[in-house]
Structure 1
Amino acid sequence: MKKTVLLAILTILCINYSSSAQLFKKKNKSKKEQAAKPSVKKGGIKKYNEVITKDAKTDEGLFHVHKIADDYFYEIPFSTLGKDMLWVSRISQIPNGLGGGYVNAGSKTNEQVVHWKRFQDKILIKVKSYNNVADSTKAISNSVQVNNYEPTLFAFDIKAFNTDSTAAVINVTDFFEQDILAISGLPSSLRKRYKVRKLDKARSFINSAKSFPENIEVKQDFTYEAAEPPSQASTGSISLQMNQSMILLPEKPMQPRLYDPRVGFFTVSQYDFGSDELKADRKTYIRRWRLEPKDSEAYARGELVEPVKPIVYYLDPGTPENLQKYIKQGIEDWQKPFETAGFKNAIIAKDAPTPEEDPDFSPEDIRYSVVRYVASTTRNAVGPSVSDPRSGEIIESDIIWYHNHLRSYRNRYLLETGAANPSARTLNTPDEEIGEMMRMVIAHEVGHALGFPHNMAASYSYPVESYRDGAFTQKNGIAASIMDYARYNYIAQPGDENIRFIRQMGPYDHYAVNWGYRRILDADSPEAERSTLNKWILEKDGDAKYKFGRQSSRFDPQSQAECIGDDPIAASDYGLKNLKYVANNLVEWTSGQTNNYEDLEELYGELLSVYSRYVGHVANNIGGVYENIKTPEQEGYIYTHLDKKSQQESMSWLHKNIFETPKWLVDKDILQNIDHAGHFEKVRRLQTRYLNSILSFDRIGRLIDAETINNEYYSALQMMQELSKGIWGEVDKKSNVDLYRRNLQRSYIERMAYLMTNEASKSRYSRPGFESTLFYNVETSDVRPLVRGELNRLSRKIRTAKNSGVNTITKYHYEDILARIDDLLEPNK
């Protein structure tokens, strides 16, 4: 019995043990199975065919681009990770009025270098800078890297690997449908102006994505909610289309060419921390296209050789038919300067292909450089470009021509040349002459796109009298470079024969193209080119036709916008003589022909601007400093103050031509037909503009500074005394003061108050070539004592003059002036 019970107990224990063991094994087996199964998070890496399904529409190129329903996928080869790519964001379509006229279809909104990088199961877009560099073989390159950490523009989850695991697939839909400021068409300033609230995702989508061998082009449609949109306000929206271009930069960058400020080029700069200099060495390279001869041996022999890859510009399909030939001529005018550099057919103009010829052609595609014709009322043209920051190689550019710009050229043609040029005395300028103007504007803008900034000294290289010589002007035009702001010959006088009135290419353009683009075949580094480049400059040393003048007209009378000839006083004398002739005939040439006053009003307003420019050219002689950039091996100083006599003559000219009332501008046949009032204010504004310009901290500071070099120069005290004597001439004569002069004299007191109480600007322009303003401590300078002294001297003279029998309004005027001076000099009295 006991044995039976014991056996039963043992049997039960064995069964329980077996059950427990089996349960334990099942649990362990489950855990092992879980451990063996890969950890896959929701939406993680899947098989290729589960992501890129049979429904995918694939575009092969730099990356495979797949479209599945409304989603877009990039298949990124691992071989492209880490490679530099240029990302350019550009507006493709734009609402009317956005940006105030200077933003348009084709406008670039950002340009940045990116590269793709894998981090664990993600692909990152990193934004790369070449501001700070170092040779990767040097230890300091590690420091450069960790002290210039690259921002991540976006992080993508890897959705799959391709079948041979050589590429990762990511979904880019969310990236391109988000409002990412770095690639947006609406910068913060415009968002603030139009009170943009947010991107409306329901009305925003990817329009297309196309892949080519070296670039990918994506078009996005964006609609933003905005309280104050620039047009169609009732919609409360701003819609625009963006184009995102990403192009693979050359594996081997173009050999850079070192910049020399004696020849004008746009530039890129880097700080080289691996330099042997005892500092981070700033290296600046010129921006230029990569032109390489097809036949190097023939090129070395001095033969003209075609480039491997010419510069090609396509015409916008929307270009008016009657203007197309002039645009092409303006582009190809640069062929001759490139021949000077040894290249033939280096730059070519083409019609845009039709959709049948190339269905993928798009003006925004970074493979194409296009002259964009913009249906806009803006009056301008621009020539921007994008370049490789590693070398300065220009990758692409778009010339922008705004439709209404020809109107400006017609108006100025009439105003500046009408006296000596009978064909300009009309509102219907001959087509060939309008076409020639457009051709030269396009050539100017193409020059910018080739790397050339304005050369404001090019028009100073010709003597004033040569502009009246027909043979000279036909051969040389009106400036030594198309890159000057010298549009018309306003010096030629009635009766002068065979005059060229419109600008053209000049000798500097050939010189600059040769200097920047000629290949130096035996130089294998930028440094190895230095001696040859310097030799080319020295060969032209002293010849004004080859001088480069920065756009710094605040101080250099040689480098002024819209100025022609080597003597601003003589040139402006001729210009004003012609302008008075035009003013006398303006009614006949406008409203007398059209039977309305619209053109008369427009042209009279522009006539005032032309007059103002002529005055400004002379005003810049006051406190003028010549800038002649040179190296120590060249003779002379870089900076030289204008001589005293020339400045005094300029002051006398200003008194005669602007501070003494220019009554020829007050023509009742014009004024009483274009506005009911405000006539005296037009004159006051003009006079005050140049009064304030002369009495500026900057100009007075330069005159004070000149005394440190030579006390025989024109001094600030002499300038202020001569200015005061002319403006307050009625005080010395004890004569009555008319309306215009009373306005001018009160403006003088306002400006003196400004000098007495304000400070000079605290920051320079950040734009290269504009660093012209002088900064100094006004409180400790001579400025305040000069102002106080001149006001005290004036006060004493006015107290006598107001009791000398002048009329009532003059007396009231003098009493007001005395009160203003007292309030300024003794505010607490």
Structure 2
Amino acid sequence: MRLLLLCLFLTTGLLQAQDSDKKETPSIADKTAKLEKQEGFFDYYWSDEEGKLYLEIDRWDEDFLYVNSLAAGLGSNDIGLDRNQLGDSRVVFFRRVGPKVLLQQRNLDYRAVSDNPDEAKSVSEAFAQSVLEGFKVVARTDDRVLIDLTPLLLSDAHGVAARLKSAKEGTYKVADDRSAIYPENTKNFPKNTEFEATITFTGEPTGRNVRSVTPTPESFTLRMHHSFVELPDDDYEPRVFDPRSGYYARGYADYATPIDQPLQKRFITRHRLEKKDPSAALSEPVEPIVYYLDRGAPEPIRSALLEGARWWNQAYEAAGYRDAFRVEVLPEGADPLDVRYNVINWVHRSTRGWSYGSSVTDPRTGEIIKGHVLLGSLRVRQDFLIAQGLVAAYGQDGTTPDPRLEELALARLRQLSAHEVGHTLGLTHNFAASTNDRASVMDYPHPYVTLGPNNEMDFSEAYATGIGEWDKQAIKYGYTDFPAGTDERAALNEILAENERLGLRFVSDADARPAGSSQPEGHLWDNGQEPVAEMDRLLKLREVALQRFSEQNIPVGMPLSELESVLVPVYLMHRYQVEAVAKVIGGYQYDYGVRQAGVKPDYQPVDAARQQQARQALLRTLSPAVLDLPQNLYTLIPPPAMGYGRNRELFNTQNGGGLDPLGMAQSAADNSLSFLLQPERLARVVEQRALFGAGYPTLAEYLKSIQEYLQAQERQSRANDYAAEVAAMTERRFVHHLLQLAADKKISGAVTAAALGKLLDYRQPETAQLSDHAAYLDQLVRSFLTNPDSYEPVPAPALPDGSPIGN
């Protein structure tokens, strides 16, 4: 009897507990009765009283795209947290497990594209997926649930704290009590739901960059944006990637691939674009690609950006479309982060920096859903500054700038707008375009200023106008809508073959950016087909500009010390051409060839005579004739005026803070020596002699030619104290580079051996009567030979900040 009563008691208690649980989970209607509902892709409810946002979920295990962005940024180029910066794009889905809802990301890097579900499952289970967030059900009606989305929206989804920590700017965390939903930019649409939040970070600043752009660096506030986006339908056909095509590649490992085929599948990224009539040579599109310009871009910048971006319509016409690409001003009230808009953003930072072209892309197929450009607003001022140093910019009256300055700056903005939009169309850089008569806007061009009659500066060809031939061919590859029945692979190969017939070359980042690159045709910030000839032309242009430089290069009322800011880009005009010329030395001729029937691969070193010319061109940049400032300049520019000071755009000095002609020469000379003596380049000098014979110099001969040139310059300059000091300083820098090579255990042994052999030439008999210069070099080498491990590299003053082009 007692047992029966106990069972009845326990059963009653369990039922009461279950009833209690049901009461604790109200219906959605009850929970949201007093809340503001927004219907759309995902319905949500806003509780103004609680400051919370509730999301209604009625679709389970259904994929959608989750994108996070930064709506209001930090304003520091060095840190890189810019306004309207895109973050991660992930394919996710909601999964319910009892009282919990999980936001889970699919791992699309590893797949099995197979009709066998068990095969697909085996791959899915072999590689980890990620649960991005977990939520508790706060209301339920049938299979629909309500969750509090606020914790996700108020999290550091953009990784701000991690970025600041890695940049050594401090340890920060989200301050919950100072963060809130941003209702003004939280909106709903049929195919996308947009959320935004004000996020405050608190912490201890340890770097200078956060301090430089925040009113209170211990507490700063950004805005983060979150987008839930419907994935595109299945009608899009991915296009195969080819390394010669000029496109970014997306891909995945397909474990259902037959073993005689590559495991990795690659396809290009591109917008969806289809002809209304694929059989027509020229047809209107079913849906045009439309880009929108940030309303914050002022005139005349706005018109320049619109014009440059619109150039791409020329390429789409070449691919068979009529009016397929349009650029308009963003409609008033539209959110630039709304996934429905392709946007060109005008972004401000405290210092000049890079511009970017990025996109929201469907990871499954490579289809671009949203093109998104960030253009740094200070870039136009840098081009203005470059032009300002080349002419008497403000003339005799000192108030009205030469109109050519603004014309050059706006010409660059047109090119920059087209360039960054090109990235958002799927295109990579093409750093060989400058060798093809400016065949692509996807290169980084140096302003092509020439000398006219009486050595007058001619800015008329500073930047190219319109889209390039390479760009047209690339758009053909990515966007041509072939008629039904076309063998697409054969048609695409024909476009690539046409590129070869046209002589269009392609070199992208991996072969152009490294300092030790062996690709002589791919470089940033250069012009012309032959780098040595372009070096000669630039040095002449630089010489004329330096000789004419005066107080007329700045406006009346500006401190004379500010002339140094204008002088720096002129003095370093050949800076990037030094690197371009250096790539000829130890260089190889090659492209991104694929195996073709009847075509023999051809990977050959640059001709030895051409390499010798390149070496001589670089040696000329080490002469006092190039490194010395004209006499009128070193009495023209005083130390920084009160309230101005030195900054990162100026040379690092060794004389106490004023204009430092010797320090400038040392930095410029060391830049040339760094490329002449780059370890990988020297290893290729050894390699080419070993593989291709006596037509190529030994490394000992190569180093000897540099030494003999510097010693000849030192002897010839002794009658001129300024030139003599620069020549001696340059030889000292040469010996320091040799010491670094000899001490480096991570580079080619042949290089360290040759460097050590050359150092032995600097030992002098102990009884010899030596100049201070010779005695210094002798003692430096002897100390190293006595204890190599004790050697510490002696750096030259670093050059001012470099790319994106200028100082």
Per the TM alignment, residue 30 of structure 1 is displaced from its structure 2 partner at its CA by 4.4
Bigger fraction of residues in helix? 1
Name the counterpart of 1:649. Answer: 613
Larger displacement relative to structure 2 (271-280 or 36-45): 36-45
Q: 1:727 aligns with which of 690, 706, 710?
A: 710
Instruction: Give yes or no for contact 2:269–2:367 (8 Å, CA) kept in 1.
Output: yes
Name the counterpart of 1:500. Answer: 461
Alignment RMSD, CA only?
Answer: 3.1
Task: Give the distance between the partners of 1:186 and 1:135, measured in 2 at CA.
Answer: 38
Q: 1:204 aligns with which of 175, 179, 184?
A: 179
Name the counterpart of 2:701. Answer: 718
Name the counterpart of 1:397. Answer: 371
SS at match of 2:371: strand
Amino acid in the other structure paired with 1:502: Y
SS at match of 1:385: strand
1:521-600 aligned within 5 A: 521-522=483-484, 529-545=488-504, 547-550=506-509, 552-553=511-512, 554-587=517-550, 589-591=552-554, 596-597=559-560, 600=563
SS at match of 1:255: coil
Q: 1:249 aligns with which of 224, 231, 242?
A: 231
Q: Classify 1:317/1:811 alpha carbon distance in 2 versus 1 (closer, same or farther; 3 Å).
A: same
Q: Classify 1:24/1:819 alpha carbon distance in 2 versus 1 (closer, same or farther; 3 Å).
A: closer
1:692-711 aligned within 5 A: 692-711=674-693
Per the TM alignment, residue 512 of structure 1 is displaced from its structure 2 partner at its CA by 0.7
Per the TM alignment, residue 546 of structure 1 is displaced from its structure 2 partner at its CA by 5.2
Name the counterpart of 2:64. Answer: 85
Task: Give the distance between the partners of 1:724 and 1:43, measured in 2 at CA.
Answer: 88
Instruction: Give yes or no for contact 1:194–1:226 (8 Å, CA) kept in 2.
Output: no
Instruction: Give yes or no for contact 1:417–1:490 (8 Å, CA) kept in 2.
Output: no
2:346 paired with 1:373? yes
1:644-683 aligned within 5 A: 644-670=608-634, 672-675=636-639, 676-683=658-665
2:44 paired with 1:73? no
2:254 paired with 1:272? yes
Per the TM alignment, residue 115 of structure 1 is displaced from its structure 2 partner at its CA by 1.8
Name the counterpart of 2:784. Answer: 824
TM-score, scaled to structure 2: 0.85
Name the counterpart of 1:451. Answer: 426
Task: Give the distance between the partners of 2:64 and 2:262, measured in 1 at CA.
Answer: 26
Task: Give the distance between the partners of 1:363 and 1:592, measured in 2 at CA.
Answer: 38
Deviation sequence 1:236-273 (CA, Å, 0-9, x none): 21211111112121242732111111121122121111
Task: Give the distance between the partners of 1:236 and 1:418, measured in 2 at CA.
Answer: 45
Task: Give the distance between the partners of 2:558 and 2:297, measured in 1 at CA.
Answer: 32
Instruction: Give yes or no for contact 2:114–2:120 (8 Å, CA) kept in 1.
Output: yes
Task: Give the distance between the partners of 2:327 and 2:170, measured in 1 at CA.
Answer: 42
Q: Classify 1:444/1:693 alpha carbon distance in 2 versus 1 (closer, same or farther; 3 Å).
A: same
SS at match of 1:673: coil
Task: Give the distance between the partners of 1:390 and 1:649, measured in 2 at CA.
Answer: 50
Deviation sequence 1:31-89 (CA, Å, 0-9, x none): 444455572676986242465332021111111101233222111122xx223322222
Q: 2:308 aligns with which of 320, 324, 330?
A: 330
SS at match of 1:540: helix
Amino acid in the other structure paired with 1:533: L
Instruction: Give yes or no for contact 2:100–2:135 (8 Å, CA) kept in 1.
Output: yes
Name the counterpart of 2:146. Answer: 169
Name the counterpart of 1:115. Answer: 93
Larger displacement relative to structure 2 (257-266 or 617-626): 617-626
Instruction: Give yes or no for contact 1:217–1:243 (8 Å, CA) kept in 2.
Output: yes
TM-score, scaled to structure 1: 0.83
Q: Classify 1:279/1:498 alpha carbon distance in 2 versus 1 (closer, same or farther; 3 Å).
A: closer
1:705-784 aligned within 5 A: 705-711=687-693, 712-729=695-712, 738-760=724-746, 778=748, 781-784=749-752
Name the counterpart of 1:474. Answer: none
Per the TM alignment, residue 211 of structure 1 is displaced from its structure 2 partner at its CA by 2.4
Task: Give the distance between the partners of 1:83 and 1:598, measured in 2 at CA.
Answer: 64
Task: Give the distance between the partners of 1:305 and 1:498, measured in 2 at CA.
Answer: 38
Per the TM alignment, residue 217 of structure 1 is displaced from its structure 2 partner at its CA by 1.0
Q: Classify 1:53/1:480 alpha carbon distance in 2 versus 1 (closer, same or farther; 3 Å).
A: closer
2:261 paired with 1:261? no
Deviation sequence 1:725-749 (CA, Å, 0-9, x none): 2122268889789211221122112
Instruction: Give yes or no for contact 2:430–2:440 (8 Å, CA) kept in 1.
Output: yes
SS at match of 2:633: helix
Name the counterpart of 1:484. Answer: 443
Task: Give the distance between the partners of 1:572 and 1:656, measured in 2 at CA.
Answer: 10
Q: 1:222 aligns with which of 196, 199, 207?
A: 199
Per the TM alignment, residue 388 of structure 1 is displaced from its structure 2 partner at its CA by 1.3
Amino acid in the other structure paired with 1:724: Q
Instruction: Give yes or no for contact 1:629–1:638 (8 Å, CA) kept in 2.
Output: no
2:568 paired with 1:605? yes
Amino acid in the other structure paired with 2:109: N
SS at match of 2:270: coil
SS at match of 2:520: coil
Instruction: Give yes or no for contact 1:417–1:488 (8 Å, CA) kept in 2.
Output: no
Name the counterpart of 2:652. Answer: none
Q: Classify 1:635/1:683 alpha carbon distance in 2 versus 1 (closer, same or farther; 3 Å).
A: farther
Instruction: Give yes or no for contact 2:531–2:580 (8 Å, CA) kept in 1.
Output: yes
Deviation sequence 1:96-120 (CA, Å, 0-9, x none): 54x6364321112333222222223
Aligned residues: 742
2:104 paired with 1:126? yes
Instruction: Give yes or no for contact 2:564–2:659 (8 Å, CA) kept in 1.
Output: no
Per the TM alignment, residue 450 of structure 1 is displaced from its structure 2 partner at its CA by 1.0
Instruction: Give yes or no for contact 1:94–1:104 (8 Å, CA) kept in 2.
Output: yes
Q: Classify 1:43/1:431 alpha carbon distance in 2 versus 1 (closer, same or farther; 3 Å).
A: farther
Instruction: Give yes or no for contact 1:265–1:451 (8 Å, CA) kept in 2.
Output: yes
Identity %: 21
Task: Give the distance between the partners of 1:155 and 1:216, measured in 2 at CA.
Answer: 19
Amino acid in the other structure paired with 2:367: E
Name the counterpart of 2:281. Answer: 302
Task: Give the distance between the partners of 2:716 and 2:31, measured in 1 at CA.
Answer: 93
Task: Give the distance between the partners of 1:507 and 1:235, measured in 2 at CA.
Answer: 49
Structure 1 portions without partners, runs of 5+: 1-20, 356-360, 420-424, 463-478, 761-776, 804-809
Per the TM alignment, residue 801 of structure 1 is displaced from its structure 2 partner at its CA by 12
Name the counterpart of 1:286. Answer: 268
Task: Give the distance between the partners of 2:114 and 2:16, measured in 1 at CA.
Answer: 43
Instruction: Give yes or no for contact 1:245–1:366 (8 Å, CA) kept in 2.
Output: yes
Per the TM alignment, residue 550 of structure 1 is displaced from its structure 2 partner at its CA by 4.7
2:52 paired with 1:64? no
Amino acid in the other structure paired with 1:110: D
Deviation sequence 1:124-178 (CA, Å, 0-9, x none): 111222211112434442332122121211112223333xx2422222123323x
SS at match of 1:658: coil
Per the TM alignment, residue 673 of structure 1 is displaced from its structure 2 partner at its CA by 1.0
Q: Classify 1:434/1:732 alpha carbon distance in 2 versus 1 (closer, same or farther; 3 Å).
A: closer
Name the counterpart of 1:787. Answer: 755
Task: Give the distance between the partners of 1:674 and 1:636, measured in 2 at CA.
Answer: 62
1:19-34 aligned within 5 A: 29-34=8-13
Deviation sequence 1:339-378 (CA, Å, 0-9, x none): 11122222222222224xxxxx211222222221223343
SS at match of 2:511: coil
Name the counterpart of 2:436. Answer: 461
Deviation sequence 1:571-609 (CA, Å, 0-9, x none): 121121112111122215414766642552212111133
Task: Give the distance between the partners of 1:151 and 1:280, measured in 2 at CA.
Answer: 27
Deviation sequence 1:765-814 (CA, Å, 0-9, x none): xxxxxxxxxxxx62xx312221222222343xx559964xxxxxx71221
